[in-house]
Amino acid sequence: MYAVMGITGQVGGAVANSLLQRGEKVRAIVRNAEKASEWKARGAEIALADADDPQALKAALNGVDGAFIMIPPNFAPTPGFLETRTTLASLHKALSEAPPKKAVYLSSIGSEQTHGLGLITSTHLLEEQLGSLPIPSAFLRAGWFMENSLWDVAAAREQGKFFSYLHPLDKRFSLVATEDIGRTGAEVLLQEWSGNRYIEVAGPKQYSAYEIAEAFALVLGHKVEAIAVPSEEWSQKFIEQGMPKDRTAPRIEMVEGFNSGWIHFGVPGTEHVIGRVDLKDVLQKLVTRA
């Protein structure tokens, strides 16, 4: 039996799907049973637990052979990442009192760095705090999600423009599909190891903003131009997208970290997994869904 957090989202769902396809048993850790009805119909066991409730998490983790653990995404954290720290304290307590035989965690590219990470600080804290547990642990340092391009579908379709915060436009970045991350998570859960592992998960190739625009053009059937959003406009753009005006700094710092190369792959001591899902295939799904 493998416990999976985030099963109603993209990565957790991909982990669970891959496990079920392999004939493994899955216990879905969810806050809302109705949202997990599809997984129950597919044979998954349902365990109700909030990430900030250590006792409920303890019950959900009890007796499992492995667990896929992730913290809820927060694109506008309070100063000091208080929400993340609360969740990590809850997870640490639950995992200490009901330790699975092994755990795989969703982390991020750059999480080995101690500063200058912006939003990725949350997964740095995850590695730092949960990596101290005495159970075999694997941290999946995933690249930039291809699915982040959902935000860009409307402009690409309606204006023929892809507005990029990744600079310069010809610089290639490591993008990866959530399907590849989830499949990797499932495969690692089925392995045996001791201590901590750090696994960089990338897509089959790197992409520049120009190449992302080209992929959009192929999917949409018309020209799409890549346009660099000036850094002095980032804060206002993020506010227009719904972020509180006093919470844009972590997102800005993260993007600056990617652009400068501070956030990168190729860290000594890490394993490397190359996915197989192409950006064009992900964009096709996003365009169909949007």
Q: Report helix angle 54-61 to 82-97, nearest 10.
A: 40
User: Mean pLDDT across the stretch 82-91?
Assistant: 97
Residue 260: pLDDT band (50, 70, 90) is very high
State whether residue 283 is helix, strand or coil: helix
**Cα–Cα distance, 85 to 180 (Å, whole number):** 28
Domain ranges of the chain: 2-289
Whole-angstrom Cα distance, residue 86 to residue 282? 33
Say if residue 22's pLDDT is above 90: yes
pLDDT at position 290, please?
79
The class that CATH gives domain 2-289 is alpha beta
CA distance 165 to 28: 35
Output the pLDDT for position 132.
Answer: 96
Give the Cα-Cα-Cα angle 196, 200, 203 (nearest 5 degrees): 155
175 Cβ contact list (under 8 Å, min separation 6): 143, 144, 145, 146, 202, 203, 206, 207, 212, 279
Q: What is the mean pLDDT of residues 222-244?
A: 96
Contacts of 247 (CB under 8 A, 6+ apart): 76, 77, 78
Q: Is the pLDDT of residue 229 over 90?
A: yes
Residue identified by tokens 């609360």 is 86
**What region, left, alpha or beta, does residue 277 occupy, with left being phi > 0 and alpha being psi -120 to 50 degrees?**
beta
Checking if the pLDDT of 25 tops 90, the result is yes
For residue 284, the model assigns a pLDDT of 97
With beta carbons less than 8 A apart as the criterion, state whether 231 and 218 touch: no
Query: Which tens digits make up the pLDDT trace of 100-144?
Result: 999 999 999 999 999 999 999 999 999 999 999 999 999 999 999
Residue with tokens 């190891």: 193
* pLDDT score recorded for residue 150: 96
First-residue to last-residue Cα distance in the chain = 35
Closest C-alpha among 169, 229, 205 to residue 282: 205
Residue identified by tokens 């983790």 is 61
Query: Burial level of 149, CB count in 10 A (0-12/13-18/19+)?
Result: buried
For residues 222-250, give the mean pLDDT.
Answer: 96
Amino acid of residue 26: V
Going across the sheet that includes 103-108, the strands are 45-48, 26-30, 2-5, 66-69, 103-108, 137-142, 196-202, 271-274
Confidence of residue 209 (pLDDT cuts 50, 70, 90): very high
The residue-averaged pLDDT of 150-175 equals 97
Give the span between the Cα atoms of 247 and 183, in whole angstroms.
Answer: 33
**Percentage of residues of the chain with pLDDT beyond 90:** 98
CA distance 18 to 24: 9
The model's pTM is 0.96
